[in-house]
Amino acid sequence: MASIGLSVNFGHLSLRCVSPEAARAGAAFSAGGLVGKMVEVMPQSMNETELLTPRLRLTALSRGDAFAIADALGNFAVSCWLARVPWPYRLEDAYAFLSQAELATLAGDVRIFAIRAEGEPALIGLVGLQGLREEPEIGYWLAEPHWGKGYASEAVAAVLDHTFSQLGFASVRSGVFLGNDPSLRIQKKLGFEIVGKSLRVCDARGGAQPHIDTRLKVANFRHAMMRKKADAAVEG
């Protein structure tokens, strides 16, 4: 998660929506874990895009996702690596987040994907893009029971491919909280470079925490994906 991290998770970033309530709504995404392979992009409508990977569907959010969001972010092991997620996290925070995310999506400020395992309707995480009017920032989180399966890498790589190929951006920002070494390693494998340091607020840990800022250029991402494909061919 982009400022989420543990042995198999990665750093996190926060989604900046359109009002102070958005922060209380838990608008946050982690930005690490970007190693999956995007297989298919399926435009649905002006405001909805579904991405398919070998094992996942990345879909629009629904009000029915509130319980899964609250359950995942009510876990300190997840929220302790997330920026600007309320703590403790409550069901009302999830509903508020969904409302704010809908408004921000309609305004063209963000694009948010629910991560769902193929054949399963339940949300297991989120990937989000914010700052679509400038240089976007990518982040995500994944519920703890689904760590260690490569889902985060697969999902975020698909969104990165969509960002560069379909949305036409030339670069993406991200980052990890200091100490989130697994996330940073994953980002480097995807071509991210460290560009600075900052402070990001983590409510679960009681305030501002040191953060490593990263940036990915489209050429570096393409090179990383080609290298990954070549490595897979050698192993196969």
In tens, the pLDDT along 49-69 reads 899 999 999 999 999 999 999
pLDDT of residue 22: 34
pLDDT of residue 49: 85
AA identity, residue 10: F
- When comparing pLDDT for 17 and 38, which is higher? 38
- When comparing pLDDT for 63 and 45, which is higher? 63
pLDDT of residue 81: 87
pLDDT of residue 236: 66
For 67, counting Cβ atoms within 10 Å of its Cβ (0-12 exposed, 13-18 middle, 19+ buried), the class is middle
Rounded to whole angstroms, how far apart are CA atoms 198 and 189? Answer: 22
**pLDDT exceeds 90 at position 10:** no
Which tokens in the block code for residue 193? 């470079």
Task: Tell me the pLDDT tens digit for each residue of 69-123.
Answer: 999 999 999 999 899 899 999 999 999 999 999 999 999 999 999 999 999 999 9
Question: pLDDT band at residue 153, thresholds of 50, 70 and 90?
Answer: confident
For the chain, the domains span 13-235
Percent of the chain at pLDDT above 70?
80
Question: What secondary structure does DSSP assign to 83-127, as a single string?
Answer: TT--SS--HHHHHHHHHHHHHHHHTTSEEEEEEEETT--S--EEE
Average pLDDT over residues 24-31: 39
Percent of the chain at pLDDT above 90?
63
Classify strands 207-217 and 171-177 as parallel, antiparallel or unpaired.
Answer: antiparallel
Average pLDDT over residues 158-170: 95
pLDDT of residue 2: 65
> For 13-235, CATH number?
3.40.630.30
Q: What is the pTM of this model?
A: 0.81
Rounded to whole angstroms, how far apart are CA atoms 187 and 194? Answer: 9
